[in-house]
């Protein structure tokens, strides 16, 4: 059972501003895209957004909660890709494995080579 993750402070601030000033997700997203601080949004927000992006509102409007969930989902997918549940052993059918010599015999062969050379 997965534990419900707490929304980070950087998103929670925007949620609080949205509730306090009765703003829509469109206004919050426009303010975030413009790089504004989470304070009461200016009445001229639409004009500033239009000048910067050439349109009066975002194409795809997402709430802060949706942005957070998408980011967490992406993080979990990356974590699963980088840490597979088990390591796969790769076998090559045309290759033969070399037998490792016994450890004592291996030491003896190394010492003989040193003695010769």
Q: Distance (Å, rounded) from C-alpha 106 to C-alpha 100?
A: 9
| 36 neighbors 48 (Cβ within 8 angstroms) | no
- When the pLDDT of each residue in the chain is averaged and rounded to a whole number, the result is 79
Q: Distance (Å, rounded) from C-alpha 21 to C-alpha 27?
A: 11
Q: Distance (Å, rounded) from C-alpha 40 to C-alpha 79?
A: 37
Predicted pLDDT at 27: 86
- Domains of the chain by residue range: 1-85
The mean pLDDT value for 93-113 works out to 67
Residue pLDDT, tens place only, 47-70: 888 888 898 888 888 988 899 999
Predicted pLDDT at 73: 93
* Residue 80 CA, distance from chain mean position: 11
Whether pTM exceeds 0.75: no
Q: Distance (Å, rounded) from C-alpha 53 to C-alpha 7?
A: 29
Predicted pLDDT at 71: 92
Q: 103 falls in which pLDDT band (50, 70, 90)? A: low
Q: Distance (Å, rounded) from C-alpha 32 to C-alpha 68?
A: 14
Among candidate residues 66, 56, 49, the one with its CA nearest the CA of residue 15: 66
For residue 68, CA distances in Å to 5, 6, 72, 95, 109 come to 10, 10, 6, 49, 62
């Amino acid at each position: 059972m997965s534990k419900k993750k707490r929304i980070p402070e950087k998103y929670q601030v925007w949620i609080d501003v949205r509730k306090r000033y009765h703003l829509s997700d469109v206004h919050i997203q426009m303010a975030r895209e413009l790089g504004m601080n989470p304070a009461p949004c200016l009445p001229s927000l639409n004009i500033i957004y239009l000048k910067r992006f050439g349109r009066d509102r975002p194409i795809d409007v997402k709430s802060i909660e949706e942005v957070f969930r998408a980011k967490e989902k992406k993080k979990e997918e990356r974590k699963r890709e980088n840490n597979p549940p088990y390591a796969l052993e790769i076998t090559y059918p045309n290759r033969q494995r070399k037998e490792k010599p016994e450890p004592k015999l291996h030491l003896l062969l190394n010492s003989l080579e040193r003695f010769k050379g």
